[in-house]
Amino acid sequence: MKSKTLLLSAAVAFCICSSTKTAQAAQTEPVSLPLDSCFELARTHSAVLKNARLDVLAARAKKQEALASYFPKVAVQAFGFGALDPMLEIGMLDILGHSPTARNLNRLIEQVGAQYGINTSYRTLDHGWTASATAIQPLFAGGRIVNGNRLAQLGVQASVLQEKISERTMLEEVENSYWLVVSLEEKRKTLEQLQGLLDNVEKDVRSALAAGLATETDVMQVSLKQNELKSGKLQLENGIRLAKMNLFNTIGYAYNPYRNVDIEGLPRIDDVLFSDLPDTLLPPETYYTDENEIAATQEEMRLLELQVDAEKLTKKMILGEALPQVGVGAMYGYSDMMNNDKFNGVLFVSAKVPLSDWGATARKLQGEEYHLQKALNNKEFYSSQILLQIRQLWLNLTSAWEQLQVAEESVETARKTTEQLTEHYRAGMASLSELLQAQTRLRQESEACIDRKIAYQTALQSYRHRIF
């Protein structure tokens, strides 16, 4: 029993050791996720973009539906019946009338007919059926067929533009989420650097304590500051995980959210590294493009134009309801009616001229004229709004650049101050509190500078998305 117990314990220990090594191996295999890959994943998995593509397909199907109006309409019809009594019965009195002479003649014919087996009345339509195929080719429908196809084409163009707008908006959202994670990771690096500086201060303080030049209070102040940095680092790590989860859910990226549980085939969230960093930051003037040129290329501007065109075509469609409609057709079929079965064909021309609808059509045209004027007003107003939006993007870009310059100067000043106070503290010319305050200030300015870099990068990408 003891040997079995030892073997079982050894097996369990081996399994635990193997699983631990496997988990450690999984942790040491980071996965690089560049921004372009996030874009591709978003284009593939985003529900918003999938729905936008479905809208395009639906609009194209609508266009094909409208195109069918150009072709003949073909229908096959069949009809049959059976009656309890013949629906048509004709006797001699129906032909000769009900005069005395007619009655006498009818009796005579009935007597003679009965002797020779002649039926003196005609009965029919007790049953029958017919089947035919009809084709009607519209020649003129008041322009509604042509204008309906043009409207369907505008619908396709509008859905394509909406898809581009949805893609642009989605990619901007993905990029903002990506840079948020990068920003938090850069702040974590800053904390790690400050942690190194604080570790050096701790060594100096402990050396001074051993030499009788410092007190336990000084050591406790350094320890409190170290704990503050550790707490800040933990908060940043949790913030990084949450920001990653939000981005991964947006782009449909499969991942393992647990740190201590392995899921086969999925990387742990902490092992997914965002490999892109902000580009070399150049001043806004490098990317300047005339605002009118940018506005002219916007999908929203084209949508406003399509709305005006659609209202114009709708007005023509309404007018077409009051115009004559002409078509030609042919019908061919077989009928078995009144005891006479045969094939037959018919060629026909149909013309419809609405006379009583002019009043209602005139009111419809008047209402549509108001809608057209509304579309023109919207085009004028929202065109100026698009131009204003582009100006705001440029203003945000230049403002973010100016704030970044100030933030970089502040970081440089805080760094020099910290270096000087470190030398002064070692020379006994500055207190520990002053040094710790300087390091705290350096941390704050460094984090603020990171925020400004990301803010400028985000503003730049928002501006450049409108250019390209």
Long-range contacts of 196-202 (CB under 8 A, 24+ apart): 197/418, 197/422, 197/439, 198/222, 198/225, 198/226, 198/229, 198/439, 199/226, 201/422, 201/425, 201/432, 201/435, 201/436, 201/439, 202/226
Q: Report the C-alpha gap between 182 and 188 in whole angstroms.
A: 10
pLDDT in tens, 285-308: 999 999 999 999 999 999 999 999
Spell out the domains of the chain, with CATH numbers in brackets: 30-74+142-324+356-467 (1.20.1600.10), 88-124 (no CATH)
pLDDT value, residue 123: 74
On whether the CB atoms of residues 34 and 275 are closer than 8 A, the answer is yes
Average pLDDT, the chain: 86
pLDDT one digit per residue (tens) for the chain, 468 residues: 334 343 334 343 434 344 433 443 444 478 999 999 999 999 999 999 999 999 999 999 999 999 888 889 999 999 888 888 787 777 766 676 777 777 777 777 777 766 666 666 777 777 888 999 999 998 888 888 899 999 999 999 999 999 999 999 999 999 999 999 999 999 999 999 889 988 988 898 888 888 887 888 888 988 998 999 999 999 999 999 999 999 999 999 999 998 888 888 899 999 999 988 776 789 999 999 999 999 999 999 999 999 999 999 999 999 988 888 899 999 999 988 777 788 989 998 988 888 777 888 888 899 999 999 999 999 999 999 999 999 999 999 999 999 999 999 999 999 999 999 999 888 888 888 888 899 999 999 999 999 999 999 999 999 998 887
A 10 A CB-CB count for 230 gives 12
242's tokens? 């949450």
- 113: three-class secondary structure by DSSP: helix
Beta bridge partners of 159: none
pLDDT in tens, 20-52: 334 434 444 789 999 999 999 999 999 999 999
Count of CA atoms in the C-beta half-sphere (13 A) of 34: 4
pLDDT value, residue 114: 65
pTM for the predicted model, two decimal places? 0.77
Pairing of strands 31-32, 272-273: parallel
On whether the CB atoms of residues 78 and 84 are closer than 8 A, the answer is no
- 352: three-class secondary structure by DSSP: strand
